[in-house]
Amino acid sequence: MTVKTQKPRQRLKEVREAKGTQREVAIELGITETHLREIENGRSVPGTKLLKRIEHYFGVSDDELFPDLNEPEFYLN
């Protein structure tokens, strides 16, 4: 999948900050701090399993955390 966007995911950052640092939250999610930072900054898209873990961990819908994934221009043809 080719990603067109690099929009920061502000809501994800907000809920993550409420839970802890990137390092703390990344450890809880079983990923690296770098991976979490890339996801927050819109430079990486989590896979389906990780997306569900993130959604469950924060108790917030993936639509709210990742609104850019629902934008039509997100994917390149």
As a whole number, mean pLDDT of residues 31-48 equals 95
List pLDDT tens digits, range 52-76. 999 999 999 999 999 888 776 655 5
pLDDT tops 80 at residue 28: yes
Domain total of the chain = 1
As a whole number, mean pLDDT of residues 44-54 equals 95
Domain annotation covers residue 3: no
CATH of the domain at 31: 1.10.260.40
Domain annotation covers residue 5: no
pLDDT tops 80 at residue 3: no
Range of the domain at 20: 10-68
Q: How far apart are CA 70 and CA 68, in angstroms?
A: 5
Distances (CA, A) of 17 to 2, 37, 70: 28, 12, 24
